[in-house]
Amino acid sequence: MAEVHAVKDADTIKLVSHLLQVRYGQQMADIWNVGINLALRISDLLSIRFDDIKDDRLTLKESKTGHTANIQLNPKAKTIIERIKEDHPDHLYLFQSHRTTQIKHRAPKPLSRRAVSKAFEAVGKELKLPLGTHSMRKTRGYHLYHATKDIARVMRMLRHRSEAVTLRYIGLTQEQVDKDFRELVL
């Protein structure tokens, strides 16, 4: 599997959302937009049930670490989630597969990671970007770091244990760190 990167330009973030909506439908664009705003791994994002959301908070157990993520929803994520709930009041999952709702006597399931991955990859190829499901989480981390320059804050948001992992994860190279030191003269 090829390494994917953060989307570093705000206009490109919007373009990815637009292309996902046009090529794959509103649900894929919603996954992208909610995913960027929640910074969850794709398996956790797709497993969100509406009952994991209370008021403006999402609480769920992360599948990779077993830790509990307690995330306050920002206005954009909250608006999208409310619209999805209004459009699909009978769904259990935030990103429920429409196929399982069409088959009687079949338990509802979330959209598959594979379907999301294929859509993101295709849009990435179209834009000549290494785009994948992890790009949402990396993008959130990258933009938080550039807004705050606080790697500890990014680590807490991504629930990482190592600064080195977080720096590599968000695509911050030693060259960029050196540039920050050269350019910020006090």
The Cα–Cα gap between 25 and 137 comes to 21
Contact assessment for residue 94 and residue 108, using Cβ atoms and an 8 Å cutoff: no
- The question of whether 134 is a catalytic residue gets the answer yes
- The question of whether 41 is a catalytic residue gets the answer yes
- The question of whether 159 is a catalytic residue gets the answer no
Choice among 5, 41, 78, 91 that is catalytic: 41
Element (H, E) at 58: strand 57-61
Give the strands of the sheet with 53-54, arranged side by side.
Answer: 53-54, 57-61, 68-72
The Cα–Cα gap between 14 and 16 comes to 5
Report which of 2, 5, 10 is spatially closest to residue 147, judged by C-alpha positions.
10
Rounded to an integer, what is the distance from CA 9 to the centroid of its chain? 16
- The question of whether 137 is a catalytic residue gets the answer yes
Choice among 24, 93, 142, 169 that is catalytic: 169
- Longest CA pairwise span in the chain (Å): 67
Choice among 54, 64, 114, 161 that is catalytic: 64
Choice among 91, 140, 143, 160 that is catalytic: 160
Choice among 137, 138, 140, 143 that is catalytic: 137
Choice among 5, 134, 138, 140 that is catalytic: 134
| Active centre residues (catalytic) | 41, 64, 134, 137, 160, 169
